[in-house]
Structure formats: C-alpha cells, structure tokens
Amino acid sequence: PERVSGLVLRATFLGTRAELELDFGATLLRIAPILHADFVGVLPEAERGAVLDSYWRRILDPDPAIHRPAAIAWHDTERSLSMAHPPLDGLDQAALADSTGPLPSTPFMEAHYFVNDCFLAPNQLLSQAGSLRGIAGIIVQGEFDHLCPPAQARALATVWPDADVQIIPDAGHALSDPAIAAAVRSAIAQFA
C-alpha cells in the first residue's frame, strides 16, 4: 500500500462461478432470448444440463471440430453481453459452421481459468479486499454492463471503503465505449 497512490478498476469481476452462471444464464435469457436459445443450442441436447461446463470442456478440446463452434459461440455471446444494448438476433450460424476463419483467443484463455475457478478460493477476492484499506480507488462501472454488473462493484466497495464507485449511465462493459474510456482517463488523472 505504501507504493500505490490509487487504483482504477473498470468492470469488476470477482472470479466466481455464480457471476458466470448469472451472465450466461438468467441475464442472457432476459436481455436476448433468441441469442440465449442459440447459445444453448450449440451444445448437444445431452450437454445442456451443465451449459458452462459443457462449453469449457468443448473449448478446451483439442479437436477443431469440437472447439471451433464452441469458441465462436462463446466469444460472440460474450461480445453481445458486453454491449449496453445487445442486438436482438441470435448467433451467426454460418460463422459457427465455418471451419476456415480465424478463432478468437479469449474463449480459450477464459475456459482455462474458469475450469480452475480462476485459481481462487471461494469468494477470495472479497474476503481479502480488506488489504486494500488505505488505498484510494475508483471503480468505473457501466450501468448496463451485463458481464460485470454494478452489483459486483458495489460489493467490492462495501469491503473497500476507500473506493468510489462511478456508475456510467447508459454504458456497457467495453473500454471502447466513449463514456467508459473518458471516465477511466479522468480517474487515472486524479492519481497521476
């Protein structure tokens, strides 16, 4: 703490399975029901009872016929969840069937972390957040961030009283959102 003037965080993810189940389950179903149906529909019917586990297992499978459609579906669904106002249509079925295009890297990295519970004990980030005491913080949070909802930022600020949560109206998850980028730049300038 003696070497840190402050921390700026954007889009608080606490590394819990409950967050992922909410994001790719109830939240996705509520905000984009067609996309939710397509996302679940990528999986064989026998694997739909454990959607997240099935996706991660498929993404990490060495066979491109197995991992390619799962990685594309995960990536495109996550991208939609990152938007304040996601499109109302579903997955691009032609892209899922394409066996030649480039693959996004993030689903593979994320699946590695998620099958290992982000290498964290249950609720470790919140339970150890007290070590941030005395460090000023600004948490920039999009009002409509469907991947890292404002509730996570508020939960962190509850155990880190030196943090200020800034909810950015009508913004989603992406740092490329102009209002999010401006808020992050402003927050960093406060500590510079």
3-state secondary structure the chain: CCCCCCEEEECCCCCCHHHHHHHHHHHHHHHCHHHHHHHHHCCCHHHHHHHHHHHHHHHCCCCHHHHHHHHHHHHHHHHHHCCCCCCCCCCCHHHHHCCCCCCCCHHHHHHHHHHCHHHCCCCHHHHCHHHHCCCCEEEEEECCCCCCCHHHHHHHHHHCCCEEEEEECCCCCCCCCHHHHHHHHHHHHHHC
Calpha distance 142→178 (Å, rounded):
11
Contact present, 73 and 39 (Cβ < 8 Å): yes
Please say if the pLDDT value at position 189 is more than 80: yes
User: pLDDT tens digit string along 11-34?
Assistant: 999 999 999 999 999 999 999 999
Please say if the pLDDT value at position 66 is more than 80: yes
pTM: 0.93
Least confident of 11-20, 70-79, 87-96, 145-154: 87-96
- Burial of residue 32 (number of CB atoms within 10 Å: 0-12, 13-18, 19+): buried
Calpha distance 127→119 (Å, rounded):
15
- Averaged over 138-155, what is the pLDDT? 96
- Averaged over 65-82, what is the pLDDT? 96
